Every structure is written in structure tokens, then in C-alpha cells.
Structure 1
Amino acid sequence: MAPAVPLALLALLARGLGLGLALPSCDYPTHLWCSSREITVACQAESHCANISRPTAAPVQLSLYYESLCPACRSFLVQQLFTTWLLLPSGVLNITLVPYGNAQEEKVSGKWQFQCQHGSEECLGNMLQACLMHEAQDFTTYFPVIFCMESGTSATKNLKACLQVYAPDLDAGRITACVQGDLGANLMHLNAQLTDALDPPHEYVPWVVINGKHTDELQEQAQSSLLRLVCQLYQGDKPEACKDTAGSKPRAVCRR
């Protein structure tokens, strides 16, 4: 195998021999050719820059509209969504969570009030998770906590325990203050607006939107085997988890 020739030496040889290898469209010094993908491409030096990765495929975008106490929502989030997220490497699936579902809102004395399909306890669970997301910001921090809340016997009484296990740096007191103050109501109002803006309007929860679209077929595939659906839709190199995506589960929903 021929020894590798440094880029700088290649450039000098090209200039000296008039081979045109100095890449006339490249105005960057040779020591910068591998500093960014843009420069690498401009200087046609991809084969010499092992540290510059090729563009990756766009992640599959999934938005879940759900309720904290809806049995079908809890099942989908715990058994399908969280498992799929764990199995796939970063950059394959982006998830947005919108806890509100079949709730209703009204403004009373200048403050938003909510009625939820499964009662006041569900409204509390929705708001706890909305405040958790606002406080944590990072999806990888708050999603395991929400998984823990939804997989336990109570989606509202185990916040502190779930935080201790999955996000000990988060302050449960700040989340509680959010729920009890105006911030929690405003966050829920935002979720109400996002839910009401769905096109087509949601008829049940969990309501799954994939890459900005909701169809009966996508919903059925997502609830049957979300991992298989994401693997089919992802346009990049298929990750290891996509090699065995057999099996499906019956569909369940909470209708309005």
C-alpha cells in the first residue's frame, strides 16, 4: 500500500508540477482543509479528511398528543415510544410530547382553568409533565422521568421518586411551584392551542403525528410497531435495532 501523502505536500507538488491539484476554487490554506465540512468540500479533500462525516439523514419527527391518565396513552408511551427511543441511536427519532388530549379550557377571572377527560387528577398529571419539560428543557432528561411517572401506579404521586432515579439534579419544588402558579396554566394553555390546531382535528388519544402528518395508516402502524415504522421511514443507514422489527400489538385509544 502506498504511503499517505500529507495534504500540504500534495499542494506543493501540484503547484510545482502544474497538475492543477491545488484546487483553484479553494482559497483556504492546507492546514484548514479538514477544519469543517464546508471547507473540505470547497477544497475537494473529502478522501483526506477522515474526521469530516458525510451529511446524515434527517431524523423522523414524531409528535405525541396524549393524556397522563388515558390507559391507551400510558401503554403507547411506555411500551412503544420509550422503548423505541431507547433502542435507536441519537439522530434517528425526534419526539415532541404534548400532554393535554381531550381536555377543555376556559378563562375564569382572567385565569385559565381546565377540565380533563379522566378528572382533576389527570389535569394535575398533564400540568406536572408540562412543568417538568419546561424546567428540564433537555428531552433526554425529562423523558425518562415521564416514562417513570406513566409506568407507575400513579402518574401524579411518584414525581419525586422518579426525579431521584432519573433526574436527581432537577428541583421538585420548582416543578410544584410551576403547577401551583400561573406558569403551569400558561403552559397548559399552549398545549391546548397546539392540540386545537391539529389538522385533521384529533378524534382520540394517543394521537400520533409523523413528519407533520397524521393518517389512519400511520396511527395504526405506530401503535402496532413504532420501531418498525420509524425504521421504514428513516432514510439514513439503518441502525442495528432495525434488523429485527417483527411483531405488533393491538390498537387502543381514548376517544373524545
Structure 2
Amino acid sequence: MVTSSSTKLVFFACFVLFTFSDTLVAGESDKVQLNLYYESLCPGCQRFIVDELVKIFDSDLDTITDVKLVPFGNAKVSDNLTVICQHGEEECKLNALEACVINTLPNPKLQYNFIRCVENYTKNWESSCLNGYGDEKAINACYNSDLSKKLILGYAKQTSSLKPEHEFVPWVTLNSKPLYTNLDDLVGQVCKAYKGKTPLPKICSSSALSEWKMSKLEFSYVDETINH
């Protein structure tokens, strides 16, 4: 028969384990909401996705961060709902593909890994990225149907609804506030933006932050004309 004192001891041990665990994850409402508004084939976007966002997913920073990718960027939508992309038709195709990846794969890390692969291998993504990252059949079904355009038009609406309006891409917001050009210290900015009760991830320690900074990015501006 379990004694009262034994029950209290077990309860206390569980409480201590829950409170001080290094793997605690912040509640959804406490997480820093990081939104990346971007377009494929934009050099600054590619570099940010490949070299910068990886710091979120390859560290314990993902325990306090909710990443949302919005693949539309500086594209335009005509009156007849035709999408015109800054870097041409190939960008439109890759934006649609990545919209389908986000729609098909439920796990944010899987979404990111697939999209990072595409942005890293834009010329041969089919041979490099389709196998091993997710549901190839479902992604292709989405991409080859009207769903891909519906998703892109949804991202167009999200992008056009930004307050303040985006000026360039990559455009990053933390808890709905734009970082503007201060993207070289993403890790430090996320750590600073977190206001939840869960202890800060180890990467947020001041001794580590300097190792996670990068040089300035190249931006693609809204009204910039790109030669294809």
C-alpha cells in the first residue's frame, strides 16, 4: 500500500523535474512568432533561409520560437489574378512549390528542411530535395492543381496586409514587429523578444550570442526591377 508520504515525495520529484528540465518547451501563446516574408530566387532570401534560419532549428531556440514562412515576397497580382514574380516565372513556380510544402507537411522543421534544400539547390531541387523530406506524391498533387495558386493568393493577401507595409525581402517580423535591416543578429533578437515563463534556451547566453551573428544581407526591394 502506497503511503501518504511516498505519494507526496513522488509528486514533488515530478514537480522538480518539470520545472527544471532543460528540454522544456514554451506554450504556444508564449512563443516568439517569427514570420519570414520572402520570395524564391532572391539572393538575400536564399542566404537568410539557408544560413540564418537554420540557427533556429539547429539549436534549442526552436523551443521558444514559432516560425511561419510566407513565400510571396515582392510579387504582384494582376486584376485577372495572374501572379507576376520579381525574378520571373521560375520564381513563381518555386514559390508555389514551397507553398505546397508548407500546406502538406505539418511539422515546421520538416517544412523548413525541405524549403532550405530547394533554396540551396534551385537548379536541381527535384533530384536533390523530393526524396527524404516529406510526402512527394501529395506535394506534387498540390503543385499541379489549382490549390497551389489558391495558397499563393492567400500568401499575397497576408503580405499585402502587413502593417507597416514591407519594403523589401527578406522581411522578418517578431511578434508582428518588423526587424527592418537588423537581421544579422536574429538569435539575439529572438532571445530579447521572448517574454514567456520558460527559462531562456542555452543559446541565449551572452557568451554564445556573438558566435551566431552574420554579415549584412542583400535585400530585394519592392519596386526594384530584376533582370531575368
TM class, shorter-length: 0.7 to 0.9
TM-score normalised to the size of structure 1? 0.72
AA of the residue aligned to 2:110: T
CA contact (8 A) 2:41 2:122 kept: no
In structure 1, C-alpha distance between the alignment counterparts of 2:15 and 2:68, rounded to whole Å: 34
CA contact (8 A) 1:64 1:97 kept: yes
Residue 50 of structure 1 pairs with residue 50 of structure 2: no
The answer to which structure, 1 or 2, has the higher relative contact order (CA under 8 A, 6+ apart) is: 2
SS at match of 1:129: helix
In structure 2, C-alpha distance between the alignment counterparts of 1:90 and 1:211, rounded to whole Å: 15
Structure 1 pair 198/178, CA: closer, same or farther in 2 (3 Å)? same
Percent identical: 32
CA contact (8 A) 1:80 1:225 kept: no
Long gaps (5+) in structure 1: 11-32, 35-46
| 2:54 corresponding residue in structure 1 | 82
| Number of aligned positions between the proteins | 206
| 1:233 corresponding residue in structure 2 | 193
Superposed CA offset, 1:191-210 (max 9, x none) = 00000100011111111111
AA of the residue aligned to 1:239: P
The CA deviation at 1:184 is 0.7
| 1:148 corresponding residue in structure 2 | 117
Match of 1:251 among 214, 217, 224: 217
In structure 2, C-alpha distance between the alignment counterparts of 1:229 and 1:115, rounded to whole Å: 33
Structure 1 pair 7/81, CA: closer, same or farther in 2 (3 Å)? same
SS at match of 2:69: strand
Residue 181 of structure 1 pairs with residue 145 of structure 2: yes
CA contact (8 A) 2:63 2:201 kept: no
Q: Which has the larger radius of gyration?
A: 1
| 2:43 corresponding residue in structure 1 | 71
Residue 220 of structure 1 pairs with residue 181 of structure 2: yes
SS at match of 1:165: coil
AA of the residue aligned to 1:231: C
Structure 1 pair 225/131, CA: closer, same or farther in 2 (3 Å)? same
In structure 2, C-alpha distance between the alignment counterparts of 1:129 and 1:146, rounded to whole Å: 6
SS at match of 1:237: coil
Long gaps (5+) in structure 2: 223-228
Structure 1 pair 153/186, CA: closer, same or farther in 2 (3 Å)? closer
In structure 1, C-alpha distance between the alignment counterparts of 2:157 and 2:192, rounded to whole Å: 31
SS at match of 2:132: helix
Structure 1 pair 241/52, CA: closer, same or farther in 2 (3 Å)? closer
Structure 1 pair 149/60, CA: closer, same or farther in 2 (3 Å)? same
CA contact (8 A) 1:89 1:239 kept: yes
TM-score normalised to the size of structure 2? 0.80
In structure 2, C-alpha distance between the alignment counterparts of 1:114 and 1:82, rounded to whole Å: 29
